[in-house]
Chain A
Amino acid sequence: MDNLHLSGRYYLPADALVRRRIESGLSRTFETRGYHEIIPPMLVGLGLAQFGPDGPGNSGGMNSSCGSEAAGCAEHSGHDLEGECTSYVVLTRDGNLLTLCSDLTTPVAALAARHLLSADGPTRLYYSGTVFRAQKPGSGKPEERRQVGAELIGEGATGVQADAEILSMAAEGLISIGLHDFCIGLNDAGLLSAILDAAGARGDTRQRIRSALAARDYVLYGELVSSLNGAAAGIDLLNRLPHLHARAEVLEALRTPGVYEAAEGLGQTLDALDNRGLGRYFRLDLAITRRFRYYTGIVFEGYAPGCGNAVIGGGRYDNLLAYFGASAPAAGFAVDVDSVASALGALDQPEKSGGGARQWNWRSWTSPASFETVRSRH
């Protein structure tokens, strides 16, 4: 008996058409802004998996023990609990281990570091590809995810201008494929460190605060924060951090001593987006922590009505290229094509779709022929 049902997703004609439109729409937007397409591989060396989501130490920023690829792998296999390793590993015929890409930024950064950097200015790259992440059975989440992303890498890809270029292209990309109601939350990965410093959070507590925030467990987060005894202003800011909403309110709160300098860039970036007429798609959200540990500057994730997952995510990763032998600043993002498709689907039928429910013709429904085999197993 074939085990078709155990595979990844098949795109039926209607779905395939939507996916194709999204991908080609995004590609066009990126191309008109001078980005060149590259095609990353699906299989990469196992060492790259450590940089992906849930790589070792993802909550603590990069640490030196993961410097060599071999060390990363050893740590990875050490996570024997809770299925923290979400990468698929493939054994080659000669006994080597490869992994199916669990994110595409890392292989693109590795490629750029080795072959594509230029002294004249930043390299602009875009790609579409599939990422693979193991999911718990029954979670309903796809193991294969189609992504289209763009990366701005190298000399000059730094500062407010570069951040604004990436963010505005992210918004314009989504607009170009027909999304209008989306909202992109923006944060800076360095900000939390500055706030934690100001609040006097150290060692184990600091780590636990970070991971509680990453897991969006605000209950545990609140308990940990109330155990701190640093500067009152810093602790107060930590307490309010998950509940700050309006932009003026957030910027006001960030005028805390020791934090203001780290937050300056964010304000300027938002101003730059306002100047491009895109400010209304962005909001500050200091609770955003991406699951990728390579981010060093801005981090962002966007949501759209009709889809419970983020439709877009990205940020700045100035230290990642150093792992591949070339030190260079970089920033980029990836659009989750399936999430965009369900948000677009909800746009088509705003009244009926409670959560992306589709129209089925139940009259033509027949019991699947294979049902007998289901029955015979019991």
Chain B
Amino acid sequence: MELEIVDEPCIVRNRQVAPLSIALPKGRLLPPSLEALRGIGLSCPDVDELDRRLVYEAADRHVRFIIARPADVPAYVEHGAADLGITGKDVLIEGDWNVCELLDLGFGQCRMAVAAPAAATGPDRGTATSALGAPRSGHTLRVATKFPGIARRYFAPRRDLCVQIIKLNGAVEIAPIVGLADVIVDIVDTGRTLADNGLVVVDEIMQVSARLIANRASLQLKSAAIYPVTSALRARCRQLDDSMAE
């Protein structure tokens, strides 16, 4: 893509402008992220290429890609190691990062939900919501999650519950099975993993999707390079929305 230089009184003049660096999330968000960037005309490496190299510079040297874990993407962006980044809304809410959230990219949609063992929420033990409403009285509700911040905020208004939050780094679904926790707070995509582990969703906390984020300093200093990328992505999202609606 031609990065067009717009009227810019503040652009760095006396030195070569550094390439635009974009932090991309490893894992399930990577293929749609690359597709979106390719869709607006950036020359992107393919997934296999990125599996081998964690930093990739495009041939024209205008753009550099950094591959990071989704939870780490905001750290690269907040500290300015990357100008732009793509990561899930869940990560952004959990960390309370000082970054600009520019765009809902529309892909990677899933739910942040509270899930409990189906056995504990079955008809004989009351409805799904009452599983949370009246956990075994006199007991602390143990919550296993990768998102302790979100879990804490979700349960905070429930003054009647005594909640213990246990931070895990993955495979949260097994926590109720092995007796580590009573419920989990986790990302639910298709719900298959939950079902496989005998869990059902008892409450949805929020919808999440992939977001485009930017470093605050870069927005000021490199706006001539960032602006065409964000507006092209915004136009692309709108187009996809429209074609979905039809």
Contact = CB atoms under 8 A, between A and B. Distances in A.
Contacts of A246: 6-8
A281 interface: yes
A217 B96 CA distance: 11
Nearest to B211: A219
B173 to A, nearest CB: 26
Contacts of B245: none
Contact of B216 (A136, A216, A280, A354): A216
A82 interface: yes
A333 to B, nearest CB: 16
Contacts of B104: 219
B182 interface: no
Q: Size range of the interface on B?
A: 35 or more
Interface stretch (A120-128, A177-185, A370-378): A177-185
Contact of A350 (B15, B96, B221, B227): B15
A281 B96 CA distance: 30
Interface stretch (B27-35, B75-83, B184-192): B75-83
Contacts of B99: 216
B79 A140 contact: yes
A233 interface: no
Nearest to B55: A354
Interface residues of A, number: 40
Interface stretch (A9-17, A38-46, A153-161, A300-308): A300-308
Interface of B: 6-10, 12-15, 18, 21, 75, 78-81, 96, 99-104, 149, 152-153, 156, 211, 215-218, 220-221, 223, 227, 230-231
Given A216-B101, A218-B103, A303-B221, A245 B6 contact: yes
B80 to A, nearest CB: 3
Nearest to A347: B15
A82 B223 CA distance: 32
B12 A305 contact: yes
A303 B220 contact: yes
Contacts of B75: 140
